[in-house]
Each structure stands twice: as C-alpha cells, then as structure tokens.
A and B are shown apart, each in its own frame.
Chain A
Amino acid sequence: MKPFTYERASSPAEAAAAAIQTPGAKFIAGGTNLLDLMKLQIETPTHLIDVNDLALDKIEPTSDGGLRIGALVRNTDLAADARVRRDYGVLARALLAGASAQLRNQATTAGNLLQRTRCPYFYDTNMPCNKRYPGSGCSAIGGYTRHHAIVGVSNDCIATHPSDMAVAMRVLDATVETVRPNGSLRTIPIADFHRLPGNTPHIENALEPGELITAVTLPKPVGGSHLYRKVRDRASYAFALVSVAAIVQRDGTGRFALGGVAHKPWRSETAEREMPRGANAVAARLIAGARTTHDNAFKVTLVERTLASVLAEAKG
C-alpha cells in the first residue's frame, strides 16, 4: 500500500468536508474492497477518513411506510432484518447470494453500492485499463471476456458491476441519500446512481467529489413474490455470470433487474410491459441490442433461461 494518513470522522457533514479539503482522500467503512485495491495500488488514497463512528447503522421505518437503511448497516444485518426478510425478500436473497459470511459481516450498504468491478484487466496493473488509467485502452476488448458485460457496453469498457445487492435495490426503486461537502443533502434514485461506461468508465456513479452516502431508502413494500436467482461457476462465494432480481405480482405483472450483464444493475420498465407475452418476450426487450463477444455470447441464452425459470418459480 502507498502511505496514507488516517482520521476518524465524527459527523457525516464533517467527513464530507474533510474529504474535499484533503486531496487524495477516501472514505473507508467495511474496507473489504478498498483495502484489497490499495494493496494492489489500484486505489492509492493519501488520506483515509474512517466513517465507522458515524451513527449510520440503523434500519428505521420511513413516514411513507418504507425503510431507511443507514449507510453503515452491514450486509449481514440488512439480510437478517425481520422487515427486510418479510417485505423485501428479493433484497435479503440478493445479499445472501453475495460474497462470504466473513465479508458480509464487514461490508456496508454504501460500500456495496460503491464496489469496483472485478474485471481481471482492471485488477492487472500491467495491462491498460480505461477505468484504472483513463485513456490507456481496454484490455478486455479482444481479451478473455467470459464474465464481461453484454448490454450498455462502450468501445472503452465492457466491465460489469459486481454487486448483487444493487440489483435488488434497482428492482425495489431504492433511493440513495447523501450529504455534500457544503453540508447540503440530496437524494439520487438508484436508476441514476450507477453510470454506463461511455468514454469515461472511470466515473462510475453520480456522486460528486467528497459527497458521502448516508442512507438508502426503500419505498413502502409492493408485495408480490420476491426472487433472486444467481447463476455462477460454483454454488457459493462467486460473482454472477447472470443474476435476476424479480418481483412478480398475482395479476401477472412484474419487475426484473439483471446482474452480471452490464456496468450497472440492468432494468427496463419497457421490457416489463412485455410480461403478458411471456418470459422470452421480456428477455428479448431487456437485452435488446446486446453486444456480445465470443466468450460471453452464452449470457444471452442464460438471461432468457434464467428469467423463464424465475417466472415459472414465481407462478409456483
């Protein structure tokens, strides 16, 4: 790791202000992704602001019947919360499908949203990567791409977002709450939080410099059948090749988001209107315009079949 100085922040606004005052500063919460990247010198903060003392570890009801999840709520605690298990099953299932128990005990809600891609070329500092070193080129394009994105890709980046939790939050229409360095608060719909790579794949989300996530809110429960199906190379502790988060209602309507196929959780409200025509119609619309490689073309079929399987299970 490169040398850094360390401080513990005592309020969210103070943390955000400190981050903008100190060039090269980063927040640290669980640290499971950041420290890994710091050891490889992919992340090289000169100053760490530890936010673990901020009282952001509560899950509370909101006035409109939803839930407000503090940024520091650990993945384990979020998945185990009785309200989440009862009313937002897709979120509990997605969290439990991710990482290992040890990592879920450390990883936080905000950190999970902010985790970086596991593209092997992003991790290999000997190879060009537009995300790690803007303008250097993309080694994945033309390289080994079995795990890479098939929709929303650009000529500069075909990396995927690795989170399971974020896919469930997308289908739940969650909202990200933040505080900015000047102390002002704002809310960002999850759909607008993660960005497509375009020609700036190093800019991965809507956060401004120094802006700190304080919570993620879920709207009031929508009922229905909640499912999260993750297809991966081994039964546990692996990233998704394809995952489907679904909420299916008795009247035959449903919401779907995909993981493992794009630079962000992938959802299309237009595709959901195809529900009366069946799973294949939904899948076709959801991944319309897919740009695949020799290695990852199988993901198109995998999306169709996983979606069909999830719908069949939802109908019981």
Chain B
Amino acid sequence: MTKFDPNRRNLLKATAVVAGGAVAAGRLTPEAEAAAVLQPAQSTEPATVNVLLRVNDTDHQVMIDPRTTLLDALRERLHLTGAKKGCDQGQCGACTVIVDGRRITSCLTLAVMQVGHDITTIEGLGTPKNLHPMQAAFVKHDGYQCGFCTPGQICSAVAMLEEVKAGIPSHVTADLNRPPQLTNAEFRERMSGNLCRCGAYSNIQDAIAEVAGVKS
C-alpha cells in the first residue's frame, strides 16, 4: 500500500495527462502545449486521487475526486454511515467525527486533507455488543428520539469531556485562569454545535453528566 503523496510533482503529472489528451484532440502549437502542461486543466474533470484514510484504526485506500468531503468519503466510499449528513454546512453537527482526538464537522473538510490523520467515527467508539460508556448512557437516559443527530452528539460529547479534562475554556468559563468545571452550563455551551430537532437536550445532558461523573 502506498501512501498518497499530494505534492506538486504528482499534481503536474496528473494535469499533464489531461493536457496531453487535449493536445492530441486540439492540435495545439508547441508553445500552447508547453503552457497546457504547466497549467492545471480548466473546465475538465480533475484526475481522481489515491488517498489513504486511517479510520477507526484501519487503513483504507480509496480513489476519490478531490472534491469529496471527509463525510462523503466515510459514508459513500467506506460505507461508514454513522456520521450523518444534516445540513452539509457545519451548522448542525450531525457529521461530527473525531480527528486526532479533536471533534470536527466532517462535512467541512476534504478527504484529501485528512491523509495522515487518525479518524474516529461512531463505529469506532463502540459496537452494539460493546457500547462505549457514552453510548450506554444515551440509551439509559433516552438521549434521542429519531436518532439522526445521535452519532454526532455522542462523538461530540466524548471529545468534549476530553477538552474539559485538557483545560480548554469555554464561553461560560468564569475564570479563564482556572481549570473549567464539569457543570451543566459548561455542557450546554460546549454542545451548542450539535442540534437535536426532537429536542432531547435535557436527556442528552443527563447522559453526559453521568459519564462525566457529576450530578445533572
């Protein structure tokens, strides 16, 4: 398995192939041919790229269009359909996954940008027979109704508790120079990037509080 090396040389090689085709069809002058090789092909489908994505401790090699978001690569190519496409513009949080320990919206990053990073999806946190404590707590506290936002909520909540542990402050942290506390106000503010149309927020908060070991 070779790792995708998206450097300039590869890019020029890829566009040279496309431009080469145009030369044959259009009979360009040598000057135009040289220019065509040096410029990325315009109004032509870009060459697909071979990327190695590390998801849930497994390497996956996929050929993708560079336009593919991480979310689409996970769902459509790797068939990891836990992360959901809600708004596809970073507002709802349904696509939240954990990259190198940090929660991000997978709809607002390209798969080619995530080569070399460690991606964890809801499928990597737990399995039906071996639930992650946060998954178990969501079940116990009825932290969902339709379930669409739930994988994003759970990935977000797991990474959120790590952020508090790491001392990262939030908008509601009263004193920036002291460690943030595990309070309901902190949970609510820190989870504001995950929307739930069913309105299961109070139960989600109970689930998070239980995993955090505090009273909701």
Q: Say if the beta carbon of B66 comes within 8 Å of chain A.
A: yes
Q: A1-B67, A3-B46 are contacts. A32–B40 as well, Cβ < 8 Å?
A: no
Nearest residue, chain A, Cβ from B42: A46
- A85 near B192 (CB under 8 angstroms)? no
Whether the Cβ atoms of A85 and B176 lie closer than 8 Å is yes
By secondary structure, the B interface counts as loop
Q: Does B89 contact A (CB under 8 A)?
A: yes
Q: Is A247 an interface residue (CB 8 A)?
A: no
Residues of chain A in range 1-57 having any CB-CB distance to chain B below 8 Å: 1, 3-10, 14, 18, 21-24, 28, 30-32, 35-36, 39, 46-48, 50, 52
Chain B's nearest CB lies how many Å from the CB of A24?
Answer: 8
Residues B93 and A100 in contact, CB atoms below 8 Å apart = yes
Q: Is the CB of B171 within 8 A of A96?
A: yes
CB B206 to nearest CB in A, in angstroms, measures 19
Q: Evaluate whether A5 and B169 lie within 8 angstroms (CB atoms) in the complex, with A39-B88, A105-B102 already known.
A: no
Residues from chain B with a CB closer than 8 A to the CB of A35 are 69, 108-110
Q: Is the CB of A80 within 8 A of B167?
A: yes
Bound CA–CA A109/B201 (angstroms)? 31
Within 8 A of B (CB), among A93-125: 93, 96-97, 99-103, 105-106
Known A-B contacts A39-B88, A236-B192; A5 and B66 likewise in contact (beta carbons under 8 Å): yes
Q: A50–B170 contact, CB under 8 A? A: no
Whether B79 is near chain A, meaning CB under 8 Å from some CB there, is no
**Residue from the list B11, B102, B156, B176 in contact with A5, Cβ < 8 A:** B11
Question: B208: CB under 8 A from chain A?
Answer: no
**Chain B residues numbered 1-30 whose CB sits less than 8 Å from any CB in chain A:** 6-8, 10-11, 14-15
Known contacts: A10-B7, A85-B169, A97-B171. The answer to whether A36 contacts B66 by CB under 8 A is: no
Residue from the set B41, B66, B104, B177 with the largest chain A CB neighbour count within 10 Å: B104
B41 contact set on A, CB distance < 8 A: 5
CB distance from B9 to the nearest CB of A (A): 9
Q: What's the dominant secondary structure at chain A's contact region? A: mixed
Q: Is B89 a contact of A79 with CB atoms below 8 Å?
A: no
| Contact A50/B6 with A80-B169, A85-B177, A105-B103 known, Cβ cut-off 8 Å | yes
Most B CB atoms within 10 A — which of A52, A85, A105? A105
* CB-contact partner of B40 in A22, A100, A103, A236, under 8 A: A22
Q: Which residues of B contact A106 (CB under 8 A)?
A: 104-105, 108-109
Q: Which residue of A lies closest to B193 (CB)?
A: A100
27 CB < 8 A contacts A-B: A3-B44, A4-B40, A5-B11, A5-B47, A6-B11, A6-B49, A8-B6, A14-B8, A23-B39, A35-B110, A36-B108, A39-B88, A48-B66, A48-B110, A50-B6, A50-B112, A76-B102, A80-B167, A86-B177, A96-B169, A100-B193, A101-B160, A101-B190, A102-B93, A105-B102, A237-B192, A237-B193
New A-B contacts (17) at CB < 8 Å, excluding given A3-B45, A18-B8, A106-B108: A3-B65, A3-B67, A4-B40, A4-B46, A5-B66, A7-B6, A24-B42, A48-B66, A76-B168, A79-B168, A80-B167, A89-B176, A102-B93, A102-B96, A103-B193, A106-B105, A237-B193
Query: Nearest 8 pairs between A and B by C-beta?
Result: A100-B193, A236-B192, A85-B176, A237-B192, A6-B66, A5-B40, A105-B102, A80-B168
